[in-house]
């Protein structure tokens, strides 16, 4: 199947000028990597191109609404809270627990999937796009993909990761997570992603324009790869980082990515996947460790996954105190209700074994020796 050019795809999406130029390098890298990926089925390649087109369509919608409503560009984004950390270490549940508080704004999954027109406070609870998103999940997350729900929360009113935002200008890690595109990942690691974070801020302004809250709380693991670029856009950001034993992390994330990719590949080499992810996530932590060592005066709140599971209310309260947010009785009730109504095994057990992915405790601890030395007290 012929791969379109980046220019063709940008033109089809109606993107031009500065936005097109900023998106072009990552899109070119993703398309080149897609053309070189021999393991994808024809359906998998079609799925990747459809995902790329959807990314561009969502970005185009943001840009068009911004041009039609200049007030969007005036929205202030003050002291956003970014939850960092390895995958599978409690970042999603912490994000959702905090997002349950009515004073907090998180990007919800339905509005990131269908952002135009900008959501409004008056109709936010009844917007039909939410029901449409849940219908899509019910229809598509079945069969081979049903296991995704066991490992990661998906639903219209669950907070969305920043990865779904950063992928729209092709300055995020999602393409390689979904379709194993090592050439794109190599480009992403070395890229200057300041343009991606400028687009990220455009998204927050867009979503907050008619539906503001007191503060934004955001998350995705890939922020660790590019903290200088994040802070160039959000110099007043508040950083929070949960930690967990990387041995447990690697077994869990390997299974999740296997399940995500399986619909696009005839065969998944589990040992190859384990090796890929072992180093990919360590790359991010290595970059973050270097940044923290070079910027010791910039505060980061470190947390332990075990504490979050043992007492979520206490951990959320710590985050609020650190971020200078009021932990009101309403906040506490929202956290307790979400925790009670969303048990970890709501959709069944997420099962995995380290050896399935060619990994051993010794190998992981060797690769992650720097991370373990830095954060051993939290593991």
The pLDDT tens digits for 275-284 are: 999 999 999 9
Q: Can you give the pTM of this predicted structure?
A: 0.95
The stretch 164-169 carries a mean pLDDT of 98
- Among 92, 356, 80, 82, CA closest to 244: 92
Question: Is 181 among the domain residues?
Answer: yes
pLDDT cut 90: percent of the chain above it: 88
pLDDT band, very low/low/confident/very high, at 342 (cuts 50, 70, 90): confident
Residue bearing tokens 């934004």 = 216
Mean pLDDT of 351-375: 93
Q: Is 325 within a domain?
A: yes
Kindly report, residue by residue over 7-46, the tens digit of the pLDDT: 999 999 999 999 999 999 999 999 999 999 989 999 999 9
Position 350 scores a pLDDT of: 52
List the one residue out of 83, 96, 88, 84 whose CA is nearest residue 335: 96
pLDDT digits (tens, 9 = 90+) for 207-234: 999 999 999 999 999 999 999 999 999 9
| Residue 176 domain flag | yes
- Please report whether residue 1 resides in a domain: no
Domain count, the chain: 1
Query: Residue 357 belongs to what domain range?
Result: 6-378
- Backbone CA torsion sign across 74, 78, 83, 84: positive
Which H helix or E strand runs over 301?
A: strand 300-304
Residue 34 falls inside a structural domain: yes
CATH value at residue 134: 3.40.50.300
In a domain? residue 30? yes
Q: How confident is the model at residue 89 (pLDDT cuts 50, 70, 90)?
A: very high
């Amino acid at each position: 199947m012929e791969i379109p050019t980046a220019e063709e795809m940008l033109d089809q999406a109606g993107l031009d000028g500065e936005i097109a130029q900023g998106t072009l390098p990552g899109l070119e890298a993703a398309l080149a990597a897609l053309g070189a990926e021999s393991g994808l089925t024809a359906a998998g390649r079609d799925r990747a191109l459809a995902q790329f087109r959807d990314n561009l369509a969502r970005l185009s919608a943001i840009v068009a609404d911004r041009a039609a409503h200049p007030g969007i560009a005036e929205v202030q984004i003050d002291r956003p809270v970014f939850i960092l950390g390895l995958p599978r270490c409690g970042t999603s549940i912490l994000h959702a627990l905090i997002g349950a508080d009515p004073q907090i704004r998180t990007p919800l999954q339905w509005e990131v999937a269908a952002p135009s027109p900008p959501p409004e406070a008056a109709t936010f609870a009844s917007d039909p796009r939410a029901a449409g998103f849940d219908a899509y999940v019910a229809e598509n997350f079945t069969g081979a993909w049903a296991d995704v729900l066991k490992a990661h929360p998906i639903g219209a009113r669950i907070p969305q990761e920043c990865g779904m935002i950063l992928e729209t200008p092709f300055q995020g890690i999602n393409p390689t997570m979904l379709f194993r595109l090592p050439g794109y990942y190599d480009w992403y690691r070395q890229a200057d992603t300041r343009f991606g974070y400028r687009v990220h801020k455009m998204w927050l302004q867009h979503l907050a324009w008619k539906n503001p809250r007191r503060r934004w709380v955001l998350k995705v693991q890939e922020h660790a790869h590019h903290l200088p670029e994040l802070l160039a856009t959000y110099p007043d950001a508040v950083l929070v980082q949960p930690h967990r034993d990387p041995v447990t992390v690697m077994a869990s994330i390997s299974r999740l990515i296997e399940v995500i990719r399986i619909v696009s590949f005839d065969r998944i080499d589990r040992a190859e996947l384990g090796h890929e992810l072992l180093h990919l996530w360590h790359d991010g932590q290595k970059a973050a460790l270097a940044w923290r060592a070079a910027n010791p005066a910039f505060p980061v709140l470190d947390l332990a996954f075990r504490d979050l599971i043992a007492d979520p209310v206490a951990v959320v309260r710590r985050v609020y105190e650190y971020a200078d947010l009021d932990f009101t009785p309403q906040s506490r009730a929202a956290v307790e209700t979400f925790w009670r109504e969303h048990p970890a095994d709501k959709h069944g057990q997420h099962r995995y074994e380290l050896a399935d992915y060619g990994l051993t405790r010794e190998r992981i601890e060797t690769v992650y020796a720097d991370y373990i030395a830095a954060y051993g007290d939290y593991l």
